[in-house]
Amino acid sequence: MAFSQDEVLAGLAEIVNDETGIATASVQLDKSFTDDLDIDSISMMTIVVNAEDKFGVKIPDEEVKNLITVGDAVSFIVSAQG
């Protein structure tokens, strides 16, 4: 069963909160992981593998650098569900 965009955003917000303590409400589509949420590359890698587990997708390492905003990550995950 594919996850909707809202479900992916909510799930991603939980992962970000679990890893960094950032409030789930702050994790919004237009927010930049580094500039707005102050998430560093180490936390980002952990968030990526947890997202892979949660949504059953594969996010290649070379793709991670393109995931600038939360919206980029949500879009990638939604489309990668196939």
Interface residues toward another protein, by CB under 8 A? 18-21, 42-43, 45-46, 49, 53
Say if CB 68 and CB 32 are below 8 A apart: yes
Closest contact distance (angstroms) between CB of 66 and another protein is 18
- d(CA 6, CA 80) in angstroms, rounded, equals 15
**Least Å from the CB of residue 1 to another protein:** 22
Q: Which residue has the tokens 């919004």?
A: 28
Least Å distance between CB 72 and another protein? 20
